[in-house]
Structures are given as structure tokens and as C-alpha cells.
Structure 1
Amino acid sequence: MKAKLTKFRVQNFRSIEDSGWIDAENVTCLVGTNESGKTNLLLALWKLNPANNEPIAPLIDYPRKKYHNYSSTKGEEIFISAQFDFDSSVAEKLSQTTGWHQSLVKEIVVSRKYNGDYEYQYSQNKLSSFDGKDLLRVFELLLDKFNDSELQSKEEKTDLDNLKISFKIPNSS
């Protein structure tokens, strides 16, 4: 096994406004009345990576009642997102490629937009909300450590001073 679908979400696709995240197990059963959207869920999932490169047809796939908004979105809306778990061999290769720990690249969310573009996001590699003042403090600490090191060239010192000016950080040296 290389990658396993663990959950998916369909948004603004045909009759579906937002399915929420649907867990995908080894066997997943979709139950609902006729015309409740079961086929549309599977069709959106199929369009994530269609076998025959079938294009996305906004006139058919975009929700009819919202189609008048389509021209203003320019197809930038995501209609399908799917989370995959990689096995350890794939995670190890991704770790070597990205330089991130394996645990950060073991899960990926792949999303597709109406314009055909894809978005990729490692689900474990996100910062929760981060206050700008905290970020500035971290940046100041890094600058201080860099200032204290003896590994700076004259160009690096000039770049560092320019950064401090850009971020309005007083010169400590």
C-alpha cells in the first residue's frame, strides 16, 4: 500500500452544498434516499483524478442555483478535498525531499478546484493561530543568535541590518 484514502469532503458540487468530512474505511457504505446526493459524492471523488482525464464541466458540475456566481469566482472554488495517509516508505521519501519529519508528511489533503488546479496541504504541518507579536519576538531571538555568531560576512551583516530596518527592530549591536 502506498496511500490510503481516509476521508473526503465535497463542497458546492451539483446538489451538494457541503458534505462535511466523510470517513472512508476499508468498506464504506453510503446510505440515503433517492436523489439525496450519493452518486454526486462519488462523482466528485472520481473527478479528483478521473481515469479518462474528463474535464470539469462547470455548467453541469457547479450547483445550478449558484451558477450565476461562477464567473466571479473564476473557478477558484474547491469542490473536492481528500485526505490520504502514506505508508512509511512514501513518508520517508517525502521526509528526505522536504527535510520535514516523517510524522509531518504522513498525511496529505489533496483538493481540486473547478478550474482544474490542485492544492496540496500536509495536514500535520500547519501552525495553529500565531500572534504577529510572538512571531516578531521569535524573529528577534533568531537575529540575536545570528548577531552573536561569528559566521557573518560583511554582506550578511548588511542584510541583517536591512532586515532590522524593514521589521523596525532596534539595532542591538
Structure 2
Amino acid sequence: MAKVSEVKKIAKDKFKPTIEEYGFKFFGNGLTAYRKKNDIYQFITLNVWNAGNRLRSSIGCWVPEMQPDYDMNQFPKSLLPSCSGGGLTDEGVSHGTPVSDSQDISKVELVEEALEQQLKLIESFALPFFEEISSRELLAKYDEKWFKDSFESMLEHEGSKHFNTYEEFQSAILGRT
């Protein structure tokens, strides 16, 4: 089983520099990188899970208006809980990424190969996804059901001081508040 610290150490040599070449910045000592493009924050996160036996990437797009109470002074130290995107699989971007769509890192020797596979998935699917979601309008249209579910969940769990309807929420995403 690979420890997160071992994955970070191995990622430092090739994975991180390659992601940085695409304009992403890693922050803290974590495995999450972001960039801002066309007024949209784009994220790539390496996830070590299943007791350190599996590795996968997740990606997301976010605009601050999605969470009006988020303190941008904390960005990126305090990460955002919800983005539009999903996990990377051999098929593309998926909202529900099963364990079978992650790489085995049950031994440290497997980490480098798993990171190379994650880079291929990022280059094949994440970067084109980010290009496709190139405006607030396209972000709002991408998976409208997800946005609606996100808004309804926000209302159910914490209420909203800012929005009374999904349409108001969507207008905020579009920057029309």
C-alpha cells in the first residue's frame, strides 16, 4: 500500500511539472492543482483512496457565485466543496467513478505507472473537457441536472441566504446577479 506522502514524492518528478506546463498551480503540499481560465476555476485532484491501494483523478470547474458564502480570501487554502466535473476513467469524465476505474498502487513500485496513466487520462479527457467548458454559459449548461441537484441540496442542508429559486442560482453562475 502506497502512502500519500510516497505518492506526493513520486509525483514531484514528472506528474506535477507536466500539469504545471498546462498552467495549473499546485498549492500547499497536496495533490490538487488549479488554474483560472475565462473566469472559471479549473481543478485537477489526485485521489489516493481505498486504504492507499487505489489512485484516480477527479476534475472540476467552479465559479465563486456557485457558493456565495465562500471566502475567496481563503482561496485556495480552503478548498471548494462542489465543482462541476467528475472522476476520470478510460471512457472520459464520469460523475460516479467506480473502483475499477482507478489504478492499483498497492505497492509503491506501481505508483509511477499509475501516475503516467493519470497523465494520459488528463491529457485525453480533462484538458478537452476544460476547453469545452470555456464560458459561464457552457458551465451552466453542462449537466444542468447536477446544478439543480446542487442547489436543491444546498437549500435542504443549509438553506440559502442568496437564492430563492434555481433560476436565481443559475443567473449567479452566469454572472448576472
TM-score, normalising length: structure 2: 0.25
> Which protein shows a greater Rg?
1
- Name the structure with the higher helix share: 2
TM-score, normalising length: structure 1: 0.26
